[in-house]
Homo-oligomer: A and B are copies of this chain.
């Protein structure tokens, strides 16, 4: 059981933008900071933009930035919207291939487990992920962060 790279990279892009606090960041910078392919990131950023998490500014000095405050980006919501397939097992997809689908309580147990998984993530915002760690995250991403109020 794994999240797709797509969700993983989506969250990493949001973390980068929340830590950077620069007016604009570029896909090249983010790709270099994480050591991941620019091509992958292009798709991720396009989707994050369509979902309203990221704003892109075109042109030579263009780039991207968060479209919302980090406190308004819910981690559970991001996972729900970027993870293409939360169908833990075949029968979640409603294809009706498993003969015991109607009577099976495993399905119900797995739905309860998935709800519990997402409920934990619904308790976190992007701000929770970065606020107390901005300085070390920025160092690890090779960024010079603007300092927030009260931050060392």
> A residues within 8 Å of B by Cβ?
1-5, 8, 11-12, 15, 33-35, 75, 83, 85-90, 97-100, 102-106, 109-110, 112-114, 116-121, 124, 128-130, 132-133, 136-137, 140-141
Chain A interface SS verdict (over half): helix
Contact of A104 among B75, B85, B137 (CB under 8 A): B137
Which B residues lie within 8 Å of A99 (CB)? 33-35, 140-141
| B98 and A12 contact, CB distance less than 8 A | yes
| B3 and A2 contact, CB distance less than 8 A | no
Contact of A129 among B104, B119, B120 (CB under 8 A): B104
| Given A99-B140, A118-B113, A141-B100: A1 in contact with B88 (beta carbons within 8 A) | yes
Distance between Cα atoms of A2 and B130 in the complex (Å): 28
